Structure 1
């Protein structure tokens, strides 16, 4: 838990400080050149500040220990935080699609200065650094929230690349800035969809893969010489804590003490191999009469 706290705090504050600086830089460049795409990119960075604050808050809540109201801990707070990140992205995307359409009506051409070039290039480099750190930290502590925040940084870097292309073409086509703002908004919207669809599925619950079920069955069988006929395997994910339940079949003449020993063995081997807290329900084998 100390490691989770450390990486959540580092990633959160790194993102907040970096994006405050980038949003100020891009907003200044956007206002000075009249570029809607640059202003949209600046607001994308501002939304990164908001989502990074959500990362810090969500991480703090998820680290709270289990209590009487939340017997399985607060790990799912990370999923909720990720969904909030997705909603923020969707709102930002919608706003800039509307602004981009409005700019088509004005037929206003944007002329980019050297300052705009510098601001966009710095944004691309810094956002990619933040992306790589968020992905690395998220994988290290298995945090979907940090990985979602990493995708937010990645969309910001990609949107800045699109803006950079627009700067190159801006002097040739009056509609370049309006088109770019819409493209950036669509990219932000897609990132929102990817994040929310994944996290909502996790919260609703999803079936384990066939490969995982086979691996669990094989691992459980290693703990006992008696055939287990393991079935009804269910996984309940609570962020960084997973509960597993399953049924096994044992000979009806087996003593309660023997059955309990087999169940305990399964629970220990599953905990060692997968990290799951397991509850095993034994059933008597019923032989069909011929």
Structure 2
């Protein structure tokens, strides 16, 4: 895939980020108003959850915008890691809001006085869940089509938000049935989900920024290269994540009698296999001759 096509796909991913931002703006406003008006802690917490999602979606959008900048003298590999940095910043903001939601829930518990949430707030939560499921389906399909990990992460966040809204509705309905503590429990659960989501984003972002890579996936990539015609063995292989891209450095051993042109053809075949089977375009192949080391002979005493 040409670099121009890759930038064009990233541009398409902006649509998904804008749709998420629009949906979260509308839903957070409705939830916060309804949660306050109908005295539902769970729905209010869900509204704050959507506020953090706005920040996360903006971070994805900014990351997509910056990652489209072409390589320059200071960034020879491009600016694709801007997506990862933006996600890392969003994780800190999400964690702050999640902790605040938990603190508010604990304060309400010790206050000992809880208002009965209105049933309308449950319908608001269920309507919001249905809307987020539609956004999730759209972003998921778009992320798969353009192979964009940042947008796929946003889609997964859309799905978790839909589940949170369903949980809020369950808590509200339970409170209306006489289990007043259930609304408070749902608010606490929402706070935990926000913190868990923040931690997952933080972990994956820092893992990528420190050049961490999934070992199982590396084994799969290694297997593809080893099965390439002309490759005797692999001396060394490394991989790292660069935004939505994967960069591979591999040293392969080949028949020492091959010409320079034949060795180069093997290198080209490895690059084609990585792109065709794993959608990886950035592969640096170093070819070395496979020279068997003779076994040492044992000394014979006369």
Whole-angstrom CA distance in 2 between matches of 1:114 and 1:248? 66
RMSD over aligned Cα, in angstroms? 2.1
Check 1:79–1:30 CA distance in 2 against 1; reply closer, same or farther (3 A cut): same
Q: CA deviation at 1:250?
A: 4.6
Structure 2 segments unaligned to the other structure (5+ residues): 1-6, 276-281, 298-302
State the match for 2:196 in structure 1.
Answer: 190
Residue 85, structure 1, aligned to residue 90, structure 2? yes
Matches of 1:251 and 1:147, distance apart in 2: 42
> What is the Cα deviation at residue 42 of structure 1?
0.8
Judging changes above 3 Å, is the alpha-carbon distance between structure 1 residues 251 and 18 closer, same or farther for their aligned structure 2 residues?
A: closer
What is the aligned partner in structure 2 of residue 231 from structure 1? Answer: 235
- For residue 175 of structure 1, what is the aligned residue in structure 2? 181
1:283 Cα shift? 4.2
Task: Find the counterpart in structure 2 of residue 166 from structure 1.
Answer: 171
Q: Which deviates more, 29-38 or 173-182?
A: 173-182
Give the TM-score, by structure 1 length: 0.88
Measure how far apart 1:72 and its partner are. 1.0
Structure 2 match to 1:156: 161
Q: Which residue of 2 aligns with 1:243?
A: 247
CA spacing shift, 1:263–1:202, aligned 2, 3 Å: farther
Cα deviations by residue, 1:153-173 (Å, 9 ceiling, x for unpaired): 222211111111111111313
What SS is found at the alignment partner of 2:285?
strand
SS in 1 for 2:227: helix
Paired position in structure 1 for 2:74: 69
- SS at 1:209's partner residue? helix
Q: Per the alignment, do residues 85 and 135 of structure 1 end up closer, same or farther by CA in structure 2, a change over 3 Å counting?
A: farther
SS of equivalent to 1:75: coil
Indicate the residue corresponding to 1:273 in structure 2: 273
Count of aligned residue pairs for this structure pair: 280
Instruction: Name which of structure 1's ranges 34-43 and 190-199 shifts more when overlaid on structure 2.
Output: 190-199
For structure 1, the 5+ residue unaligned runs are: none
CA contact (8 A) 2:238 2:249 kept: yes
Aligned ranges 1:1-290 → 2 under 5 Å: 1-6=7-12, 8-171=13-176, 172-204=178-210, 205-206=212-213, 207=215, 208-219=217-228, 222=229, 224=230, 228-250=232-254, 254=257, 258=259, 260-275=260-275, 276-283=282-289, 285-289=291-295, 290=297
Q: What is the SS of the residue equivalent to 1:153? A: helix
Change (3 A) 1:59 1:148: same
